[in-house]
Amino acid sequence: MTNPFDLSGRVAVVTGANTGIGQAIAVALAAAGADVACVGRTPAEETVAKIVALGRRAQIVSADLSTIAPIGQVVDETLSRLGRLDILVNNAGIIRRADAVDFTEADWDAVIDTNLKSVFFLSQAAGRHMIAQGKGRIINIASMLTFQGGIRVPSYTASKAGVGGLTKLLANEWARHGVTVNAIAPGYIATNNTAALQADAARNTAILDRIPAARWGAPEDLGGAAVFLASDAAAYVQGHILAVDGGWLAR
């Protein structure tokens, strides 16, 4: 019986793959059989070493996704170095914190450009290739703030709400071409982006009190969801936002 979760022979692009959630997803895809192009501003040597140790191929693709300028390069380098492009994981993102009354235009634009604009245009570039080959998987990284408002992160909240809507729009347009577009919404995951929350004793306690699993998530907790959405097991899953949150939304 064929394993529907087997990704052997496929090539994935993972943005922001040098650490945290991006690294964990890249390694999980490799463990399921995929070769991986690791994209980011910071070279992902550690991620590449983990992937190679699993017997898969990995390539570093240096690109600063705060602008859309390198997007064509990401697709072209992946195809030239790894020969295919079957899976795209839009993970790269930034966050800026300030009260809404004090939030600056610069912080607004920086987050929207990285978290939403680049996600769309990289999906567009990969989607053109996937439509032409008749199959592909796009996985966006959403957030609890795709569903909720949060506090002190107006541009991040707007960007992640946008990612949720964009996921559904692209699924509507591309499903007929054999391309699935879905998202993972991580709960409170212990990464660099959440370091400030973890360090704030009152916020940390409030967060843990609401999570039924009674712990912060680890980046590795997202690996299985990514493998599922990248695989043939999810061939009929479209426009879905899969929460991996320890039960946060159930409260």
Assigned domain for 145 exists: yes
Nearest to 30 by CA among 43, 16, 47: 47
1 pLDDT above the threshold of 60: no
Model pLDDT, residue 11: 98
Assigned domain for 5 exists: no
Structural domain containing residue 97: 11-246
Assigned domain for 16 exists: yes
Q: What is the average per-residue pLDDT within 26-52?
A: 97
For residues 179 and 88, is the Cβ–Cβ distance under 8 A? no
Assigned domain for 4 exists: no
**Structural domains in the chain (count):** 1
- Tokens encoding 165: 């809507």
Percent over 90 (pLDDT), the chain? 97
pLDDT digits over 212-246, tens only? 999 999 999 999 999 999 999 999 999 999 999 99
Assigned domain for 26 exists: yes
Model pLDDT, residue 192: 84
CATH number for the domain that contains residue 36: 3.40.50.720
Give the rounded distance of the alpha carbon of 240 from its chain centre: 14
Model pLDDT, residue 169: 98
Assigned domain for 3 exists: no
Assigned domain for 180 exists: yes
Q: Is the pTM of this model over 0.75?
A: yes
Q: Tell me which of 137, 139, 156, 167 is the catalytic residue.
A: 156
Query: Confidence band (pLDDT; 50, 70, 90) for 13?
Result: very high
pLDDT digits over 28-40, tens only? 999 999 999 999 9
Three-state secondary structure string covering 126-187: HHHHHHHHCCEEEEEECCHHHCCCCCCCHHHHHHHHHHHHHHHHHHHHHHHHCEEEEEEEEC
Q: What is the average per-residue pLDDT within 59-72?
A: 98
Give the chain's mean pLDDT.
Answer: 97
Query: Confidence band (pLDDT; 50, 70, 90) for 196?
Result: confident
The verdict on whether 188 is a catalytic residue reads no
Q: What is the average per-residue pLDDT within 195-215?
A: 94
Q: What is the average per-residue pLDDT within 100-118?
A: 98
For residues 125 and 61, is the Cβ–Cβ distance under 8 A? no
Model pLDDT, residue 197: 87
Query: Confidence band (pLDDT; 50, 70, 90) for 140?
Result: very high
Assigned domain for 47 exists: yes
